[in-house]
Structure 1
């Protein structure tokens, strides 16, 4: 049982640990604010890529929209998700994580772009890390 008490969280945290937590929080908050907004805007311009290539046919069979119209909806949702992260990172990070899970499922249904699905899984884990960090920094962020 000695190991259990040794791994207990100390009552007070050092200022350098708190500063590192704050820096990690700000980095993740910035990325998960800016990236969804930029990717969401790009759904309207297709400058980075033609996003409909990444859309599984099952998506448009469930929601009867053209692939490009579907991407417009995706873009709006991504912009909103980024704004929520900016304002309420504790909740926005969960919105982004769920959204990324949906993207991963879409890519797996597509049967290709497994590399992108794996990257998005890493982003999902980052969004969950932001959520955990936002709990500890909620008092210092307004």
Structure 2
């Protein structure tokens, strides 16, 4: 995790934007993933392209539950390693977009997911920058203890 002391030199608006993205891309995938087991927010199976249901070795319901588990894991990775989790969420969203375009009729949702994926990329890039800053700050902290 990025230490608070390494972030003190970062502009406050940049830090706030990073924290908003980090929280959002942690919580939203976890909530969506959990809901794929309960179907309280949406009937997730309807978003699976017919071509996918024909070629999958499991039922649409089973696949969506596996996808839900993957989304929960992606959210947890984002919580602890946003520079990695951001890329995982972005790639996951791009795969969802491909599925939505193949399903036809979900173009608005595909466009929304494209916007979300760009936010996830921004989080990954900011996370990499903050991670680098925290690594650069560590030797100085060690030297000060001597």
Could you state the TM-score of these two structures normalised by the residue count of structure 2? 0.82
Q: Which structure's residues are more often helix, by fraction?
A: 2
The one-character-per-residue Cα deviations of 1:71-96 (angstroms, maximum 9, x if unpaired) are: 10000000000000001000000000
Which residue of the partner structure matches residue 21 of structure 2? 28
Partner of 1:98: 91
Runs of 4+ in 1 over 3 A off after TM superposition: none
Q: How does 1:78-97 map to 2 (within 5 A)?
A: 78-97=71-90
Q: How many residues align?
A: 126
Long gaps (5+) in structure 2: 1-8, 136-146
User: Equivalent residue for 2:63?
Assistant: 70
Partner of 1:113: 106
Gaps of 5+ in 1: 1-14
Using the TM superposition, give the Cα deviation of residue 140 of structure 1 relative to its aligned residue in structure 2, in angstroms.
4.8
Q: CA RMSD in A?
A: 1.5
Task: Check whether the contact 1:22–1:137 (CA below 8 A) recurs between aligned residues.
Answer: no
